Amino acid sequence: MTSSEPDRSASRRTLLRRAAVTGGAAVAATAVTAANATPAAAATGDPLTIGLANQASNETVLHSTAPGATLVLQNDSGASLHLKRQDITSPTWGDIYPTTAGLAHVTTTSTGAPVRNEVLTTANATMLVPIPPTRVLDTRSAAGRARLLEGANQIDSQGRAVAGAWLLVHLDGIVNYGDGLIGNVTVAKTEKGGFATVYGRGAAPGASTINWWGAGQLLSNGVITQVGAWSTANGDYYPDTVAIWVQKSATAVILDVTGLLVFHPESAVVNNPKGLTADSGTSGVRADVIKTNAERGDREVGSGA
């Protein structure tokens, strides 16, 4: 090695460092580590400085032919990448940007006008998960009444819910932190004309889910309803409940579930052998997130007397 080689190597390393810094000028934000925590900024065309948001209008392209990631963002004490929410006054096709609801994606109409669409995720939307038809209530037998949290004492000797009965069914083992269900409600051995209402949250609606007009009838009707939560007087808490209010006359009641509205498919535990158990990878984290999102703060919880 000649005496000039160390100088050339040092110069080459300096150039590489400068190129790496200059090449990131258009990145909107970057991770802040303990070693690079001093606030700083960079104008368009200037080198990106770590520590504060850097704004630029030029495009940065990262390209590599080597195996592995072209860009790795890592921050052991905070967010690796921070997207700052901003008002978009003139969106164009293909734009994706943060909003108060999550993320927006811009498409266009046939005339070219931009249309903002919210990106649906487990934080702001539900999905339908079909399940095998599953019977969750049949008042005609003790086994069929096993899921009742309330109303077991309002069943007559013929297995009928008496007039005015309020039945609360727990969907444990069917869904964890669900938002709604699709199914079928059936009445049998009706006493006389009457109706029943299936619902999940809040006060009982005035509308009916199924009606009958005489004695000894066997009728069914499809049902789509919310799933609620129930808290007893002694503090026991039961998520995933559905209520049935029987009005006017006694009848046997059967409720079958065929689909679940959930924030995450793993909430449909009856159709998922892994469910939210320990063998499903990061299930503990997902279960916490699902629970938080599903309850969403504004979810109504009924209280027992």
pLDDT tens per residue across span 227-243: 998 988 888 889 899 99
Q: Checking phi first, is residue 120 left (phi over 0); if not, alpha (psi -120 to 50) or beta?
A: beta
DSSP class of 174: T
- H-helix or E-strand containing 134? strand 127-138
Beta-carbon contacts of residue 44 (< 8 Å; ≥ 6 apart): 25, 55, 56, 57, 58
| C-alpha span between 20 and 70 (Å, rounded) | 13
| C-alpha span between 187 and 244 (Å, rounded) | 11
Question: 194-199 and 102-108: which strand pairing?
Answer: unpaired
Please give the single-letter amino acid code of residue 275: G
Q: Please report the pLDDT score of residue 28 as a whole number.
A: 39
* pLDDT at 266 > cutoff 90: no
pLDDT tens per residue across span 270-302: 876 655 444 444 445 555 666 665 555 555 556
User: What pTM, to 2 d.p., does this model score?
Assistant: 0.64
Banded model confidence at residue 247, pLDDT cuts 50, 70, 90: very high
| C-alpha span between 97 and 106 (Å, rounded) | 9
Q: What is the dihedral of CA 31, 36, 41, 46, to 10 degrees?
A: -90
Q: Please report the pLDDT score of residue 291 as a whole number.
A: 63
The residues facing 260 across adjacent strands are 129, 181
